[in-house]
Amino acid sequence: MPVKTTLRENISIAMQSIAGNRLRTSLTSLIIAIGIMALVGILTAIEGIKQFTNDAFANLGANSFTIQNRGAGLNFGNGGHRKVYPSIKYDQAQRFKKLFTLPVLTSIDLNVSGTAVVKYGNEKTNPNISVSGSNENYLNISGYKLAFGRNFSFSELEHGESVVLIGNEIKTKLFKREDPINKLIFVGNNKFRIVGVLASKGSSAGFGGDKFCIIPVLKAKQINASTNPSFTITVKAASPDAIDATIGEATSLFRNIRDLNIANADNFEIERSDSVSKELSGNIAGITIAGFAIGIITLLGAAIGLMNIMLVSVTERTREIGLRKALGATPSVIRKQFLIEAIVICLIGGFGGIFLGMVIGNLIAVQISGTFVAPWLWLFFAIVLCTLIGLVSGFYPANKASRLDPVEALRYE
């Protein structure tokens, strides 16, 4: 009971001291809050980025890969001259799809625009619509499902007809509650008939979220502004276990299609979906460490500021400490009083910093991933960290206060 009573009295005295010095307490707590806000805000935003990348690549699965032009024309060599590899032609992609006999799904894709405007009547979207060409396997490989309508027919793909599958956000923006199937829309300067609407996946589904249009790949070739577009081939293997054998067969076949002999290096790249995801995860881990380091450095400055203010507090309250010692307070009791005061100030600032960090971090995270992120592990860590900062920063001032000579303390002016 005496221990509990002493602890209760120490907490009560610490709280009275905090209440009696509201300005100093507020400024000290603000220093801690800024440090915790930086830490929690950065880590919350990173959690949003991590969720976004995981969702974006989860749809492709671990059994998909893409064949694309090597380096996308960005490799340099030959004494600094730009090295451009030959584009993947439409007929090469079609030959691959026809000749690749393994049990796989193959889509041929071509990016047309990332800044298109879609119009219907008097309504139009912002210039942020992604337009791509693909074939009948796009839905299966990308993981999208039809909300209503249908997929492209064989005839529409073969003749490159002006039909389109639209993302849910376009449907919501242009048609409200109206049925969009068989309606005519303008995608850029080209007119298309809507045959299907894709189910929503939100902004975490990919860089364009639900703001995209899919048209027959042959039509995409016809309207593409580039005179020498490079197509991308996406292959979905039967299972993750078959991915390595499938990549080997695909490489061999595509080398033949590109007329490469044994002495020639590949002039195309094969990118596994899981390798891209792993690479991004590695990059995010590096960003997390950097963000954590920035937050800790900020908190180190906050801890130094807290220690300085606690030392000032000890100096200001020298007579009070002397009086308490004269009345029988032991050095242990004085030390605990100042430690509790430092910890409480830290926790006040910590909870304020956590709230502000969650708000700022989620403003970024919602823009990136479209969902609210709560990094519970980091929040718990932030509370523990606040307590540790209070102990470390408050120990020296508390120890100094506990060692004051009561006679000299009472004489202090």
Q: What is the DSSP code string of 236-290?
A: E-SSGGGHHHHHHHHHHHHHHHTT--TTSPPSEEEEEHHHHHHHHHHHHHHHHHH
> Mean of the pLDDT values across residues 224-248?
88
Helices then strands, counting H and E runs in the chain, come out as 13, 14
Amino acid at 400: K
Confidence of residue 204 (pLDDT cuts 50, 70, 90): very low
Cα distance between residue 336 and residue 13, in whole Å: 11
- Higher per-residue confidence, 291 vs 156: 156
pLDDT tens-digit map of 290-307: 777 877 787 787 778 778
- Higher per-residue confidence, 110 vs 205: 110
Name, in order, each residue with C-beta under 8 angstroms of 312's C-beta and a sequence gap of 6 or more. none
Burial class (CB in 10 A: 0-12, 13-18, 19+), 241: exposed
Cα distance between residue 155 and residue 164, in whole Å: 14
Classify 370 as helix, strand or coil: coil
* Vertex 259 angle, CA 254 and 262, to 5°: 90
pLDDT tens-digit map of 364-384: 777 765 567 777 777 788 788
Predicted TM-score of the model (pTM): 0.57
Residue 207 pLDDT exceeds 50: no
> Mean of the pLDDT values across residues 88-106?
93
- Higher per-residue confidence, 207 vs 149: 149
- Higher per-residue confidence, 22 vs 410: 22
pLDDT tens-digit map of 321-367: 777 777 777 777 778 777 887 888 888 888 888 888 888 888 877 77
Confidence of residue 74 (pLDDT cuts 50, 70, 90): very low
Q: What is the pLDDT of residue 86?
A: 86
Closest of 105, 89, 99 to residue 151, by C-alpha? 105
Confidence of residue 59 (pLDDT cuts 50, 70, 90): low
Cα distance between residue 309 and residue 314, in whole Å: 9
Residue 405 pLDDT exceeds 60: yes
Tokens at 106, concatenated: 């193959």
Residue 312 pLDDT exceeds 80: no
- Higher per-residue confidence, 5 vs 301: 301
The DSSP result for 150-211, as a single string, is: ----HHHHHHT-SEEEE-HHHHHHHHTTS--TT-EEEETTEEEEEEEEEPP--GGGSTTTT-
Cα distance between residue 274 and residue 278, in whole Å: 6
Distances (CA, A) of 10 to 119, 155, 332, 333: 70, 83, 11, 7
pLDDT tens-digit map of 128-145: 899 999 999 999 888 888
Count CB neighbours of 97 within 10 A: 17
Provide the pairing of β-strand 212-216 with 129-134.
parallel
Residue 29 pLDDT exceeds 90: no
When the pLDDT of each residue in the chain is averaged and rounded to a whole number, the result is 81
Cα distance between residue 17 and residue 337, in whole Å: 10
Residue 408 pLDDT exceeds 70: no
Half-sphere exposure of 89 (CA within 13 A, CB side): 7
Tokens at 45, concatenated: 């935003």
Count CB neighbours of 91 within 10 A: 10
